Amino acid sequence: MKASIITIGDEILIGQIVDTNSVSIARHLNSAGIVVRERLSIGDDRRQIIQAVEWALKNYEVTILTGGLGPTKDDITKKTLAELFQCDMRYDQQVAEHVEKMLTARGIEFNDLNRSQAMVPTACTVLFNAHGTAPGMWFERNGHVVVSLPGVPYEMEHLMQDKVMPMLKSHFSLRQIVHRTMITAGLPESMLAKRIEKWENALPPYLKLAYLPNPGAVRLRLSAYEVEGESVAREIDRQFEALRKIIPHNVIGFETASMQELVHGLLTKRHLTLATAESCTGGSIAARFTALPGASAYFRCGVVAYSNDAKVDILGVHADDIAQYGAVSEQVARQMAEGARRVAGADYAIATTGIAGPTGGTAEKPVGTVWIAVATPERTVAQVRQCGTDRGQVIDRASAFAISLLRDCLNGE
C-alpha cells in the first residue's frame, strides 16, 4: 500500500513555517504498514492542487492532504476538491451546529464566514472535527482514497488518530512495515561502515540499511516494507545481535529513542533524580527532558544561569573563579553542576557554559566553545566541546553532547 502526503500553504513554500504535519502523518501511516512514497508541499493554488492530487490518485492508493480549509478567501482546498471530484456543495447541519457551539463558547459571533465552513462537497464523507471548525473530508475514486484535513496541527492529529487511521485499516487490507534502529557511538560513519561491511553485504535483500549520523552518534536503521511483521522483526533482532558482536563497545541503545529518551528511561528505571544548570544552552536541556511524559518523576529543577550573578547567587559558583578563569571554563562548569545538584537535592546534575555566538568569541575561546559537566554522587566529570558556529547549532549540539555525557556517567563509563 503506497501513500503520498500533500501539504498546502504558501507559508510552507516561503519558509515561514516548518512542516511538522507531514512528520506526524508519515508516522501514523508507517505504523499501520502504509509506505509513504512522497511528501509534497504546494501553494494555495488551484492548478497546483488539481495537478498534485491527480498525480497522487494515479500513483498511490492513499493520499493525505492538509491545509487550505480556513474560512478566509486565501483557503481554496475545499472548493478545488469539489471541482476535481466533480460535485456540488451541501450545507452540513451537524458541522454548522458544532461550529456555532464552539464559537459561542468562546464569545465569538457565528457569521457567514463560519457558516461557510459547514459547506462540504457532496462527494465526500465528512470527518467530524471535534477540536476545530473545519471538518475533514474523505473522497474515493477507483478504490483510491484522498483525505483532506485542516492544517492546525492538533486538529489534524486528532482526525488522523480518531478517524482516518481506523477508516484506512478497515478500507484496505494492510501488510506491515518494520523499522528498527540501533544507536552506535564512538565510530565515525565511514569507519563504522568499513567495520561492518561484511555484515552489511550479507543482509537479506528485503532488509534495507540506512546510516543516520548525528552529533555524538551514528544510528543504523534496518527497514522492511510490506512484509509479514513478526518473522521479519525476529530476523532484524538476529541481525542486530550479530552486529553487536562485531562492535560490542559501540552499541548504546535501540529504537528511534533520542539521547534524552534513553537517559529518561535510565533515570526512571533506577529511581534517580536530575537537575540542570544551563548557561549557553539556555533551558534547552531542561526543555528536552520535560517534553517527555513522566519527566516529573525525576526532574527536580533546572537553573538557566545566564548572568554571572545567577551563577554565583543561585548555584554558588565562586565569583573569583569567574573572574580568574572566565564564565566559560572547566572550573565554572564543574561548580555549576555541583551547585545544581546541591540546590536541587538531586542525584545527578548537568551543566553547560559556552559561547553560543554570534558575538562573544575570542581567539582562545571561539564561538562554539562549550564546557559541559556532569556531577554524580561520586564525582564530577567535565569536557570541552567545539559545537559549531551557528547559534542554533551550538545550542543543539551542546545539549546533545551534555546529555550524552550524562548517559556515559549513568552507565559508569
Of 17-36, which residues contact a second copy (CB under 8 A)?
17-20, 22-27, 30, 36
Nearer of residues 123 and 372 to a second copy, judged by Cβ: 372
Nearer of residues 174 and 193 to a second copy, judged by Cβ: 193
- The stretch among 77-85, 89-97, 226-234, 274-282 that binds a second copy (CB under 8 A) is 274-282
Nearer of residues 256 and 383 to a second copy, judged by Cβ: 256
Q: Which of 60, 138, 299, 401 forms a contact with a second copy (CB under 8 A)? A: 299
Shortest distance, CB of residue 283 to a second copy, whole angstroms?
3
Beta bridge partners of 126: 137
Q: Does 162 bind a second copy (CB under 8 A)?
A: no
In the region spanning residues 201 to 260, those forming contacts with a second copy, defined by CB under 8 A, are 208-213, 221, 223, 256
Task: Give the closest residue to 14 by CA, choosing from 42, 39, 47.
Answer: 42
Q: Does 63 bind a second copy (CB under 8 A)?
A: no
Q: Which of 87, 100, 114, 272 forms a contact with a second copy (CB under 8 A)? A: 114
- The stretch among 15-23, 83-91, 264-272, 404-412 that binds a second copy (CB under 8 A) is 15-23
Q: Which of 186, 265, 283, 326 forms a contact with a second copy (CB under 8 A)? A: 283
Distance (Å, rounded) from C-alpha 33 to C-alpha 177?
Answer: 5
Q: Which of 40, 87, 119, 165 forms a contact with a second copy (CB under 8 A)? A: 40
Task: Give the count of residues interacting with a second copy (CB under 8 A).
Answer: 108
Nearer of residues 39 and 318 to a second copy, judged by Cβ: 39
Q: Does 157 bind a second copy (CB under 8 A)?
A: yes
State the sign of the Cα–Cα–Cα–Cα dihedral 255, 259, 262, 268. negative
Distance (Å, rounded) from C-alpha 408 to C-alpha 184?
Answer: 13
Nearer of residues 14 and 363 to a second copy, judged by Cβ: 14
Strands lying side by side in the sheet with 274-278? 274-278, 348-354, 369-375, 380-386
Distance (Å, rounded) from C-alpha 137 to C-alpha 212?
Answer: 36
End-to-end CA distance of the chain: 45
In the region spanning residues 338 to 377, those forming contacts with a second copy, defined by CB under 8 A, are 343-345, 356-360
Distance (Å, rounded) from C-alpha 61 to C-alpha 140?
Answer: 10
Q: Does 68 bind a second copy (CB under 8 A)?
A: no
Find the angle CA(6)-CA(9)-CA(13) to the nearest 5 degrees.
90
Measured CA to CA in angstroms, residue 142 lies from 61, 62, 164, 241 at distances of 9, 12, 18, 45
Nearer of residues 73 and 379 to a second copy, judged by Cβ: 73
Pairing verdict, β 348-354 and 217-227: unpaired
In the region spanning residues 128 to 147, those forming contacts with a second copy, defined by CB under 8 A, are none
* DSSP secondary structure, 142-183, as one string: TTEEEEEE-SSHHHHHHHIIIIIHHHHHHHS---EEEEEEEE
